[in-house]
Amino acid sequence: MEQSNDMGTAIFAGGCFWGVEYYMKKLSGVTDVVSGYIGGTKEEPAYEEVCTGTTGHAEAVRVTYDPQKTDYETIAKRFFEIHDPTHINRQGPDVGEQYRSEVFYSTPEQKQIAEKLIARLQAKGYKVATQLTPATTFWPAEEYHQDYYTRKGALPYCHGYTKRFD
């Protein structure tokens, strides 16, 4: 297998992007996490627009990682363990299409890994609502959304870690 110094990228929507960003940044091998919007029709959406539920966008994170230190499957497992993948259009008190659970895959391999993880969860009795969608343009959110919990010195209120895989 040929080694590459290229960075890997993964995009996930799992409710409020602040909590997903917080937990993804804690993973070894992750080099950057950006909160933003994806999956809708509005070009260059603003937070206020996404909150109306009319843009089709989800709050999401773009995770950049070093494939020499971690892999897509490890990051995708973490995604499924830091939000409730059985909820439709909500996480905790946040309700709306923009808070849906969705994997935005960039390669057939990413899609296959997500399908495999969903099948494992379903085999354990989880009614997984997570959608799998080809990645489109990812729009970074406004600067005040980046590193939110780190800047505020607070912990996520609608995300937590729940071990779901062996």
Full set of structural domains in the chain with CATH: 8-152 (3.30.1060.10)
Cβ neighbours of residue 24 closer than 8 Å, sequence gap 6 or more? 12, 30, 33, 61, 63, 75, 78, 79, 82
The catalytic position among 16, 24, 117, 135 is: 16
Q: Is 135 helix (H, G, I), strand (E, B) or coil?
A: coil
pLDDT score recorded for residue 148:
84
Question: Using an 8 Å Cβ cutoff, are 130 and 85 in contact?
Answer: yes
Name the phi and psi angles at 142, rounded to 5. Answer: -55, 155
Residue located via tokens 């993880």: 117
Name the phi and psi angles at 70, rounded to 5. Answer: -155, 180
pLDDT in tens, the chain (166 residues): 334 468 999 999 999 999 999 999 999 999 999 999 999 999 999 999 999 999 999 999 999 999 999 999 999 999 999 999 999 999 988 999 999 999 999 999 999 999 999 999 999 999 999 999 999 999 999 998 998 888 888 788 788 889 999 8
DSSP 48-111: HHHHTT-S--EEEEEEEE-TTT--HHHHHHHHHHHS-TT-SSEETTEESGGG-EEEEESSHHHH
Amino acid at 7: M
Rg (CA), the chain: 15
Is position 16 annotated as part of the catalytic site? Answer: yes
Alpha-carbon dihedral sign for residues 144, 146, 147, 149: positive
For the chain, how long is the longest CA-to-CA vector?
47
Name the phi and psi angles at 120, rounded to 5. Answer: -65, -40
Taking the whole predicted model, whether its pTM rises above 0.75 is answered as yes
Two tokens, residue 47 = 């937070």
